[in-house]
A and B are shown apart, each in its own frame.
Chain A
Amino acid sequence: MATATIDLEALRIRELAERRYKFIDRKWDLMFWVTAGFVVGAAANITHLLFAGDWDFWTDWKDRQWWMTITPFATIIIPSALQYIQWRAWRFPTGATYTAVCLFFCTWIGRLLQWKYFINMPINFVWSATWIPAGILTDYVLLKSRSFILTSLIGSAVWTMGFWMSNYIMQLPYLQPTRFMGHTLTVADVQGIGYIRAQTPEYLRVIEHGSLRTFLQETQYVSLAFGTTLCVFGYWVGQFLGRRLAVWPILKYLKQY
């Protein structure tokens, strides 16, 4: 009986896949995936910029306390919404990766055109973090678990850790110690001193200043754990956007007049 049901389902899917349409062709796919990429990238970018952007603009702000605590929360929201939309519509476990790729293009166009060529900051001072490895891993969690609840719990941890590990590799050279005017600083600190930012906190102020600093080497692990907790909350904010604002309104009408 079960085999017969599966066979029927397979036949139905095959029939759908092989169906010839008169008007629907690949141009519709292309137009959707390309133009949707703009609004997805924009939504992800503005959410990141205005919730956690300061900690990603400069190497000396990519600290162990706030960068990895609030960035995963700010950046999981739109990938979560896209996971819901793409999984619901096509059973594609690709929402987080798709968003991360769109965000990659948006942030890098911004960093190159606006930071590098507009105000002349070197790109190794203002490079953008990446979310693509974290997106692939989080989509893998959805693929294997087929559950948004499990993805919110496990995927949020994966997103936070994936974000940290993939970006720590790029940040590491700037965390090397160096001597500058008789003081031991990181290379990132020297960059912050060398390139004047008239409207940000002055370079003499320590960016990483909270009492969490007293945990010394444990700081980043505490931050990652708290970042994961916040990320679970962000994941459900994204689910709300995907469920209630993107999919629920389809063919729903407010009033007739």
Chain B
Amino acid sequence: MTEQLAPPAGQQRAPERATPAVYDPPDIPGKGPTDWMGGWKWGIFAPLILLGLAIAIRVYQAFAVFPWGLDSSTTQFFWMWRMLVVAFLLGVGIFTVVWWRWILQSAKSLPQRFSRREEVRRIAVFWSLVGATSVNLYIEASFWPNQDGAFHQTLVRDTAFTVSHIPMFYLFFPLGVTLAVGTYLYGRTRLPAIYGPDKGFPWSFFLLISATVTEVAQVAMNEWGHSVNLGNAGAEEFFAVWFHWPFVLYGWLASGIFALWGETILRLYTIEDEEAADARDTVPAAAPSTTAPVRGGS
């Protein structure tokens, strides 16, 4: 048995603090934790926004590449393409600051205790952000690289800022970092049972964030490699050149995204087990049927 110690003389006992109430989100039809317009809302809208952005840029290219996008020395190229780099980097930068700040600031006013329903809703939002990151990875690792191959193997490259590089390297690559880190901040502040500060930094996010950061860093080596390649007599474009391979090696680190799904689905099963245990505790003992024969007893 433990013995309760008396407080030292002269030290006042801290006032008893009331246990904070458990927050449970209001039950609005169609906007529950696992409803499409509830917890899953961003799982639909975020990927659509990203795909819409990629398609909108592709439509812009259809009109603006061949008249003004082939000669980097022209004034038109400067205004229609180089300035796009500035606009993309500024846009991503502003979005990053605003979104990350909102995640961190709004976390301060979140209720300390919340219901299982609320946790499930947060996991659904988390999955939506992971899904958006996955779609962004598709856009930066398949949608634009395919264009990069088509463009550079058929048209002469005279700048590092070609029209196929601009949306890929300077919009969707940095956006990958924004989404991966933002998803981690959301998990750290909203899902303490899995990603709370007391747990430590998860390997899963370490790998995913490393993938997005090293992809951005690899752009520099890629352009350096192309400057060497263009200086040689061949001046040919091969996709399978050595200085492209780090894009692949770094991209493999994104395998950690599967660990995010794994970690959260395990938490979901724990929540379901707790719900089932509660349901068992509250169900009244079954009364014997009046028609069934009673066996045993005295």
Report A's interface with B, CB cutoff 8 A: 21-25, 27-28, 31-32, 34-36, 38-39, 41-43, 45-47, 49-55, 57, 70, 81, 85, 89, 106-107, 109-111, 113-115, 117-119, 121, 126, 196-201, 241-242, 245-257
Contact = CB atoms under 8 A, between A and B. Distances in A.
Contacts of B251: 42-43, 46-47
B40 A35 contact: no
Q: Chain B's interface: helix, strand, loop or mixed, by majority?
A: helix
B165 interface: no
Q: Chain A's interface: helix, strand, loop or mixed, by majority?
A: helix
Interface string B196-216: 011111111011000000000
A50 B244 contact: yes
Interface of B: 33-34, 36, 40, 43, 47, 58, 61-62, 65, 116-117, 120, 127-128, 130-131, 133-135, 137-138, 140-143, 145-147, 149-157, 194, 197-204, 206-207, 235-240, 244-245, 247-248, 251-259, 261-263, 265-266, 268-269, 271-272, 275
30 contacts: A21-B272, A23-B33, A23-B117, A23-B268, A23-B275, A31-B127, A34-B131, A35-B127, A39-B137, A43-B255, A45-B142, A46-B141, A49-B146, A50-B240, A51-B248, A57-B149, A57-B150, A113-B146, A114-B147, A114-B149, A118-B61, A119-B150, A121-B154, A126-B150, A246-B259, A249-B256, A255-B200, A255-B201, A256-B200, A257-B201
A38 B134 contact: yes
Contacts of B155: 119, 198-199
B152 A199 contact: yes
B201 to A, nearest CB: 4
Contact of A35 (B62, B131, B203, B235): B131
A43 B33 CA distance: 31
A27 B134 contact: no
Contacts of B198: 256
B272 A22 contact: yes
Contacts of B197: 256-257
B147 A253 contact: no
Contacts of A196: 154
Contacts of B127: 28, 31-32, 35
A200 B135 contact: no
Contacts of B36: 27
A43 B201 contact: no
Contact of A41 (B130, B142, B254): B142
Contact of B138 (A38, A51, A114): A38
A197 B151 CA distance: 10
A250 B204 contact: yes
B141 A43 contact: yes
A136 B187 CA distance: 37
Nearest to A47: B248
A254 B259 CA distance: 14
A18 to B, nearest CB: 13
Given A196-B154, A199-B235, A254-B202, A242 B34 contact: no
